[in-house]
Amino acid sequence: MKPRTADKIATGVIVTFASIIVAVLLGLLGFILFRGLSHISWSFLTSVPQTIRAGGGIGPQLFNSLFLLVLTLIITIPLGLGAGIYMAEYAKPGKITSGIRLVVEVLSSFPSIVVGLFGLLLIVNTFGFGFSLFSGALVLTIFNLPLMVRITEQAFRGVPKEQKEAGLALGLSKWKIIVSILLPVAIPNLVTGTVLAAGRVFGEAAALLFTAGMSTPRLDFTNWNPLSPTSPINPFRPAETLAVHIWKINSEGLAPDAMAIAAGASAVLVILVLIFNLSARWLGRVLYRAFTASKVVE
């Protein structure tokens, strides 16, 4: 077979498979949005769900998902950045470093339901945090931490060595080089990775079934005392997220419009994930251009 013919065949096969993947993705998104967009309204996004009557909404579940996202990022970002910086700049090659990388890779491949069961046994029962937003945030931190560590390590290792060597030549300390030279270059990739990890929080359900719970108390949005059981910002109250709500409606929903509610909630969830992914790419490009422009000016 001639090289040019083989190249055309290989290109055709690759394009075909890529087209199939794109078509499946667009078909799945189109199906979910087509079924759910007609059920989305302001009342649907803000009202409480109904158990046996029609007309319920997803207000508390949507708020729980957003609040859980904030709690998870507060815990995940410092741990992920610290571990990634250590692996990229401080860890010396050896068995210990290789073992840490192996643990991170194994942890990233764990099924979410296994992580949820681990959280149920350790965080909910042993530590006594119960079914709460805080327990769900800790479990999601375990779930997302490997991704943050890898992204941080790759972002710092992707900085040109010449910039680091220039800092060493100026007599800067290692921490000063990390903060002043490496971190500004790595920020676009770090922000992109953080937003992508945040998007995974919305779609997670299996781990939260065993940690955050499958119910939400009646919330008083005029009460902002974080220690009150009815306060929406109390991190130690049980909280049903949007993904868990979709699973619950499809499995045991009794309302006559349960399927419509599930379709609308699924569309909202897909839209949120798309917004986060598109925002990550846009924000990463903006930060990269801003940093490049600042370097040109200097």
pLDDT for the residue numbered 291: 64
- Domains of the chain by start residue, with CATH: 40-297 (1.10.3720.10)
Inter-residue contact 164 to 182 (CB < 8 Å):
yes
| CA atoms of 67 and 95, how far apart (whole Å) | 39
Question: How would you write the pLDDT of the chain (298 residues) with one tens digit per residue?
Answer: 677 788 888 888 999 999 999 999 899 889 988 888 888 888 888 888 887 787 788 889 999 999 999 999 899 989 988 888 888 888 887 787 888 788 877 777 788 888 889 999 999 999 989 899 999 999 999 888 888 888 888 888 888 787 777 777 777 778 888 888 888 888 878 887 788 778 778 888 888 989 998 888 888 888 888 888 888 889 999 999 998 988 888 887 778 888 888 889 999 988 888 887 787 778 777 776 776 665 544 5
Neighbours of 66 (CB within 10 A): 14
What was the pLDDT predicted at 18?
92
Residue 163 neighbours by CB under 8 Å, 6+ apart: 181, 182, 185
Amino acid at 175: W
Residue 34 token pair: 């087509």
Contacts of 219 (CB under 8 A, 6+ apart): 60, 63, 230, 231, 232
With a CB cutoff of 8 Å and minimum separation 6, the contacts of 286 are: none
How far apart CA 240 and CA 132 sit, in angstroms, is 9
Q: Nearest-CA neighbor of 29 among 231, 238, 201, 278?
A: 278
- What's residue 297's pLDDT? 46
The structure tokens listed for 118 are: 């681990």
> Other CB atoms closer than 10 Å to residue 188's CB: what's the count?
20
CA trace torsion 61, 66, 67, 73 (10° rounding):
140
Q: What is the pLDDT of residue 296?
A: 46
Report pLDDT for 292: 62
Instruction: For residue 53, give the 3-state DSSP assignment.
Output: coil
pLDDT at 88: 84
